Amino acid sequence: MTNSPDVLIRHPQKNTEDEWWRRYSFLKGRESAERWMNEEFTEFHVTPETHPKVVELAAGDGPIAKLLVKRGWRPENITCVDRDESPNPMVPGVKWMYIDLPTLYEEYIRKNLNPEPEILAMKGAFDLVSFCNTGWDMPHLEEKLAEYFKRPSGYVFRIY
């Protein structure tokens, strides 16, 4: 057992960020985001059948989940992860997990330690890892978190 902090947030606070940021990829150029997704998914053969299990990191209100459901993904196969609880989730039926992602990286992934069992069960469990404009000033953080959650044959989709 380590003295590292818990990263699973069992009683999250409501997200107080402006709705524009919580829905960044949906509101900022939705058509271009959908076009980008279509081009990338076509090129790399990413479909609900080939990549059914999805995690959206730093999900806000779940804008990428909304685009994925529109493309045929099943909400029950999507997990949205954020530190705070969305006051207005965009997709009913997705699973929500509240995780302090920067701390997960700093205290566990970087040190090769295991976090709480609920988070450890998510390691390498997803066919598709997605996120958009996290606002973190650490590009390596996004890459390392994506690799943590992605299956070896999985795909990472980013909207910037």
Would the pLDDT of 8 be above 90? yes
Q: Categorise residue 58: left if φ over 0, alpha if ψ from -120 to 50, beta otherwise.
A: left
pTM: 0.91
pLDDT digits (tens, 9 = 90+) for 99-135: 999 999 999 999 999 999 999 999 999 999 998 866 6
Short-list 53, 59, 49, 55, CA closest to 22: 59
Q: What is the pLDDT of residues 65-107, one digit of tens each?
A: 999 999 999 999 999 999 999 999 999 999 999 999 999 999 9
Q: Is the pLDDT of residue 2 over 70?
A: no
Question: What kind and span of H or E run contains 95?
Answer: strand 95-98
